[in-house]
Amino acid sequence: MSAARFQSGDTVAVSAAYPPGHVRTPYFIRGKSGVVDSIAGAYPNPEELAYGRDGMPALPLYRVRFKQTDVWPDYAGPANDTVVIDLYEPWLEPTS
Amino acid sequence: MSPHDGPGHDHEHDHGPHPYQPDIEDSGYTERMVMAQAVEELLIEKGIITADEMRAQVELMDSREPALGAKVVARAWADPAFKQRLLEDVNKAAAEMDIDTGHIPIRAVENTPDVHNVIVCTLCSCYPRLLIGLPPDWYKSRAYRSRTVREPRVVLAEFGTEIADDVEVRVHDSTADLRYMVLPMRPAGTDDWDEDRLAELVNRDSMIGVSLASEPK
């Protein structure tokens, strides 16, 4: 595994990409920005594992926290509600 | 006596046709069911797994139940050092109690007066099975999976769980390699309770986050 590109507290954006095949990044979070909550380790790439390959090198996996009001513009709950999603590094881009 | 014996069911069949009870096969196989069966047969035929290993794994899954998770939560309530270890690594902490939770990492997220956590898997139905057993059917439903991330407070209210507006509702979508359980808050008025008694307050739904731990009676 390569060193993790992002650290806790970094603001990141999820790629607004729509590749074919097996992916573990939910549609609703693509293109949204959040903050890295923690690094959950490194795991074989599920997009490769799904097709019988070994998924190596392992990818850093991040727990990224999003404000619900950023994810859903018409979110009906309080502004401090959040959703935390586990995302593999290639799906994340720095925001700046 | 089997449930089919007894008065009114004496198998003489002289009082009209017996109502037909459909068996599971009568609903018909879907393509995916046939595919799963075919893969299982191939794995066994090619000697990759044995039928007994397959059976034993199903039996292992079926042996898990929410009471195991409840014991772990009760220990965390009673022992602050254990709670710290649980929040770092559920598998390791459970192993201290001789509970083998397998190789899939499980993490605990702690409810506090400021944060209420709830778990969902929007992509499929990931669940900490080896700690709290098989997920309830509603956990796997499209309604729960889509609505919990979209309108969590409405879903919680349908489960009878009202969270104050000044408490953050934090939804955890287990999309990847980890599984999550909620560490619910310890109910007030249980200060002198031992672990066995505390464990009785930990219901399954409180470890998913759609409910709170039960109040002491």
How far is B56 from chain A, CA to nearest CA, in Å? 25
How far is A44 from chain B, CA to nearest CA, in Å? 9
Confidence tier at B2 by pLDDT (50, 70, 90): very low
How far is A12 from chain B, CA to nearest CA, in Å? 17
Higher pLDDT, B3 or B35: B35
By Cβ distance, the residue of B151, B165, B175 closest to A78 is: B165
By Cβ distance, the residue of B150, B166, B168 closest to A82 is: B168
Confidence tier at B26 by pLDDT (50, 70, 90): confident
Chain A positions in Cβ-Cβ contact with residue B163 (cut-off 8 Å)? none
One domain for residues B58 and B158: no
Query: Domain for residue B22, yes or no?
Result: no
Query: Domain for residue B215, yes or no?
Result: no
Q: List the single residue in B with minimal CA-CA distance to A71.
A: B150
pLDDT at B11 over 70: no
Q: Count up the domains in chain B and report the number.
A: 2
Helix (H) or strand (E) holding A93: strand A92-94
Contact A43 B177 (CB under 8 A): yes
Chain B positions in Cβ-Cβ contact with residue A81 (cut-off 8 Å)? 152-153, 168-171
pLDDT at B45 over 70: yes
pLDDT at B13 over 60: no
Q: What angle do CA A38, A44, A45 make, to 5 degrees?
A: 90
Contact B190, B196 (CB under 8 A): no
One domain for residues B88 and B136: yes
Higher pLDDT, B116 or B61: B116
Summarize pLDDT for B70-82 with one digit per residue, the tens. 999 999 999 999 9
Of A39, A78, A4, which is closest to residue B152 (Cα–Cα)? A78
What is chain B's mean pLDDT, rounded?
92
Chain A positions in Cβ-Cβ contact with residue B149 (cut-off 8 Å)? 28, 83
One domain for residues B134 and B56: no
Check CB contact of A61 with chain B, cutoff 8 Å.
yes
Say whether B124 is catalytic. yes
Say whether B146 is catalytic. no
Query: Domain for residue B6, yes or no?
Result: no
pLDDT at B12: 52
Contact A76 B153 (CB under 8 A): yes
What is chain A's mean pLDDT, rounded?
95
Mean pLDDT for A49-66 is 95
Contact B169 A81 (CB under 8 A): yes
Residue with tokens 């929007």: B122
By residue range, what is the domain housing residue B123?
A: 66-208
Q: How far is CA B44 from the centre of its chain?
A: 29
One domain for residues B36 and B58: yes
Q: Which domains does chain A have, with CATH numbers?
A: 11-94 (2.30.30.50)
pLDDT at B8 over 50: no
Query: Domain for residue B140, yes or no?
Result: yes
By Cβ distance, the residue of A41, A43, A82 closest to B170 is: A82
- Whether ipTM > 0.90 holds is yes
Summarize pLDDT for B163-183 with one digit per residue, the tens. 999 999 999 999 999 999 999
Query: Domain for residue B94, yes or no?
Result: yes
Q: What is the CATH number of the domain that holds B187?
A: 3.90.330.10
pLDDT at B5: 46
Check CB contact of A37 with chain B, cutoff 8 Å.
no
Q: DSSP string covering B98-137, please? A: T----SS-EEEEE--SSEEEEEE-SSS----HHHH-SPPH
Measured distance CA(B143)–CA(B203) in Å, rounded: 22
